[in-house]
Amino acid sequence: MKDVIIACDFGTAQQALAFLDKFENCPRKPFVKIGMELFYGAGPEIVRTIKARGHKIFLDLKLHDIPNTVRKTMKVLSGLDIDMTNVHAAGTIEMMKAALEGLTREDGTRPLLIAVTQLTSTSEERMQKDLLINATIGETIAHYAANAKEAGLDGVVCSPLEASLIKETCGKEFMAVTPGIRFADAASDDQVRITTPARAREIGSDFIVVGRPITAAEDPVAAYNRCIEEFCK
Ligand code: C5P
């Protein structure tokens, strides 16, 4: 079940497809994350195109709206034949339940649905001051993850360093999907709470989301294989 998801953070379909061309002869088709930049830039067609090439897709649009709008939007996204998508847990349990309903196809199948708890760019200080949440960031993340579980979701996106907290709170079957991955011998870029693919496996991540260490590598296929080697083996 463990897998490496490549964050395909490109602004145009041409750039994304040219990047994925490099993996044509790779025996393992990478799981690909399409985020807001690529989705809003290239439109839903990019999802169909990448899917048709045989990749699994995590559509990272982080929905957060009234339950009715989220339900109807998820129905549209489910029709794109994606494999995983997400919402903000801050939208409430009712909104997460509506998302799940919208995603579930008539035959009962659905993509995996995970929740964002607190963005890793939000510090405890900003959460308390800007959002007026009077708790520690750990308490907030654990509470939002428990809400996601209660709503029936499959897991959360979190920092790898929070994966064990999530598993303690929600059980080991509840998925931790973790960005913030860097090789031991590489730069951290703008990520602060980072870890290596090997350490993410030890801590209990189910999926790692890796962007620049693969997309900006001199040899992206070798970097991807290194992630697989460290994380999945
Ligand atoms: O290039 P890098 O490996 O830092 O990319 C990480 C990916 O994970 C990006 O697409 C980023 O938007 C996403 N992400 C993140 N932290 C979160 C949620 C998503 O880095 N909390």
Per residue in 121-151, pLDDT (tens digit) is 888 999 999 999 999 999 999 999 999 999 9
- Look up residue 17 and give its two tokens: 């497809």
pLDDT of residue 120: 82
Looking at the CA of residue 121, tell me the nearest atom of ligand 1.
Answer: 21
Could you say which of 51, 62, 75, 97 is catalytic? 62
**Ligand 1, pocket residues at CB < 6 Å:** 7, 9, 35, 119-120, 157, 179-181, 189, 191, 209-213
Q: Which of 6, 193, 209 to mutate to test the pocket of ligand 1 (most atoms within 8 A of CB)?
A: 209
Mean pLDDT value across residues 183-200: 86
Atom of ligand 1 nearest to the CA of 191: 4
At residue 179, the pLDDT reads 94
191 pLDDT band, cuts 50/70/90, is: confident
75 is catalytic: no
What residues contact 137, with CB distance under 8 A and at least 6 apart?
118, 122, 123, 124, 127
**Rounded to 5 degrees, what angle do the CA atoms 22, 185, 158 make?**
75
Residue 44 has pLDDT above 90, yes or no: yes
Neighbouring C-beta atoms of residue 103, cutoff 10 Å: 22
Is the separation of the CB atoms in 182 and 194 below 8 Å?
A: yes
Residue 190 has pLDDT above 80, yes or no: no
pLDDT value of position 107: 94
CB 157 within 8 A of CB 114: yes
- Identify the residue whose C-alpha is closest to ligand 1 atom 14: 179
Q: In which band, very low, low, confident or very high, does the pLDDT at 194 lie, cut at 50, 70 and 90?
A: confident
End-to-end Cα spacing for the chain:
11
Q: Is the pLDDT score of 233 beyond 90?
A: no
Strands 112-116 and 207-210: unpaired
Who contacts 223 (Cβ-Cβ below 8 Å, separation ≥6)? 183, 213, 214, 217
Q: How much of the chain, in percent, has pLDDT values that exceed 70?
A: 100
Residues 53-87 pLDDT 10s = 999 999 999 999 999 999 999 999 999 999 999 99
The answer, as to whether pTM is greater than 0.85, is yes
For residue range 155-169, what is the model confidence (pLDDT) as tens digits?
Answer: 999 988 899 999 999
Structural tokens at position 120: 């890793």
